[in-house]
Amino acid sequence: MTEAKINPSTTNGQVLTTVGGNAQWAAPIAGAVQTTAAIDGDGQAGTPLDLADDAVTSAKILDNSITAADLAPNSVDQSELQADSVGESELIDEAVTPAKIQPGNADQILRTNAAGTAVSWVDLPATGGTTELADQNTITGDGTTGNEFQVANGGIDTQQLAADAVTSAQIANGTIVNADISGSAAIAGTKIDPDFGNLDISTTGTITATGDITTDGDLVDTTPDYVFQKYFLGNSYLKESYDFQTLEQIEAFIKQNYHLPGIKSASEIKKQGYWSLTEASQKNLEKIEELFLHTIEQEKKIDQLKNENESLSAELQSLRKDMDEIKALLKNKN
């Protein structure tokens, strides 16, 4: 039978009891409730049942049921802790504050022993300074006026610093130089200010960009003046391997390879994986210079043919004049 099956009393504070062998609701009888020393009160108004002081012992508490939320601040002191029950793994970071450390005598310092296995409070030397507080390698000085503790030049490396121990606020502006940065630092490009002012950027590697490259200057490389040297001098010290080809040679090459001589084919560019703007600019200028030279040659040929045509035209006019004179003589003779 559950509570929901019992018809409740209409009067608050009544208890279910038996009278003459029958169950009925009635006012509680003083002293009728039997309790142990762990329970105070007798269930009557003014003396309700309650837990007695110190009534809850370890036996009454379910194992692993008490959480941090159940403990009031400063409710657990040393007397409640079993010896060696709290180790480093039980302490959260920064949980041990100076207030939690039992102090030594006036002006003493907390120091580890030579083996590094224990700490104790010790007196400072009577002179007021000591080199024992610093290893004199990473930190020098003895803490006295004129010989203050200070970080030695080059004394700190990654071995002395915890992860994220030094922030931007601890670094003086403009103090980190190139020698301070490891060659393997692999600084991300997003961490670099892209404004280099009037400084040159030099690299023996490849510059890769997924966006546009804008420049107010020139892309500098060898200019194709070797084209004119080869054409007019027969050779070029700028590029000894260059060969100026005739239009007939160029035509034959295009018919066979489907691209201009000296220009990479589509398959070569695809295999290479990129298109060099500097190389393309140089080759384009090379072809423009070649085109100018071929145009000059054609212009000369056109001028020559024009002169020859004018000469033939004059000769034709002279022949026509001679024919007209012969015709006139023959006509007069008849």
* Res. 221: pLDDT tops 60: no
Residue 322 and residue 237 share a domain: yes
| Residue among 18, 24, 22 at smallest CA distance from 6 | 24
At CA 118, angle to CA 114 and CA 123, rounded to 5?
Answer: 70
What pLDDT is recorded for position 231? 92
Q: In whole angstroms, what is the distance from residue 249 CA to residue 61 CA?
A: 102
Residue at which a domain ends, from 153, 171, 189: 171
Q: Percent of the chain beyond pLDDT 90?
A: 16
Tell whether 155 and 240 lie within a shared domain: no
- The answer to whether residue 200 sits within a structural domain is no
Interatomic CA distance for residues 13 and 6, integer angstroms? 16
**pLDDT at residue number 65:** 80
Same-domain pairing of 231 and 318? yes
Secondary structure of residue 106 in the 3-state scheme: coil
pLDDT for the residue 98: 77
23 residue type, one letter: A
Task: For residue range 122-172, list pLDDT tens digits in order.
Answer: 776 665 555 556 667 777 877 777 877 777 777 777 676 777 777 888 888
**Residue positions counted in the chain:** 334
DSSP letter string, 201-218 = ---SS----SS----SS-
pLDDT higher for 65 or 235? 235
- Helix 277-333 to helix 226-233 angle (10° resolution) is 40
Q: Tell me the helix, strand and coil percentages in the chain, rounded to 5.
A: 35, 10, 55
Indicate if 142 and 233 belong to the same structural domain. no
Q: How far is C-alpha 1 from the chain's CA centre?
A: 68
DSSP per-residue codes, 145-171: TTB--EEPTT---TTTS-TT---GGGS
Given this model, what pLDDT does residue 258 score?
93
Q: What is the pLDDT of residues 38-81, one digit of tens each?
A: 677 766 667 777 777 777 777 777 888 888 787 777 777 777 77
Mean pLDDT value across residues 256-278:
89
In a domain, 125, yes or no: yes
Among 132, 153, 171, the domain-final residue is 171
User: Residue 35 has which token pair?
Assistant: 């309790």
Q: What is the structure's pLDDT at 104?
A: 83
Residue 44 pLDDT: 67
Question: What is the structure's pLDDT at 94?
Answer: 77
User: 186's torsion region: left (phi>0), alpha (psi -120 to 50) or beta?
Assistant: left
Rank 50-59, 187-196, 214-223, 244-253 by mean pLDDT and report only the highest: 244-253
pLDDT at 127: 57
On whether residue 233 sits in a domain, the answer given is: yes
Total domains in the fold of the chain? 2
Asked whether the beta carbons of 143 and 130 are under 8 A apart, the reply is yes
Whether the Cβ atoms of residue 121 and residue 110 lie closer than 8 Å to each other: yes
- 116 in a domain, yes or no? yes
The answer to whether residue 186 sits within a structural domain is no
Give the CA radius of gyration of the chain. Answer: 53
Arithmetic mean of pLDDT over the chain? 80
Average pLDDT for residues 173-193, to the nearest whole number?
Answer: 79
Q: Are strands 15-19 and 22-26 parallel, antiparallel or unpaired?
A: antiparallel
Quote the tokens at residue 22. Answer: 């029958």
Query: Per the domain annotation, does 37 fall within a domain?
Result: no
Q: Pick the more confident residue, 79 or 239.
A: 239
Confidence at residue 220, expressed as pLDDT on a 0 to 100 scale: 60
Whether residue 332 is contained in a domain is answered as no
Q: Is residue 104 part of a domain?
A: yes
Across the range 304-314, mean pLDDT stands at 89
Of 14-28, 117-131, 186-200, 242-256, the poorest mean pLDDT is in 117-131
Cα 269 from chain centre = 32
Please say which residue of 171, 191, 217 terminates a domain: 171
Residue 123 structural domain: 96-171
pLDDT at 129 (0 to 100): 57
- Between residues 50 and 236, the one the model is more confident about: 236
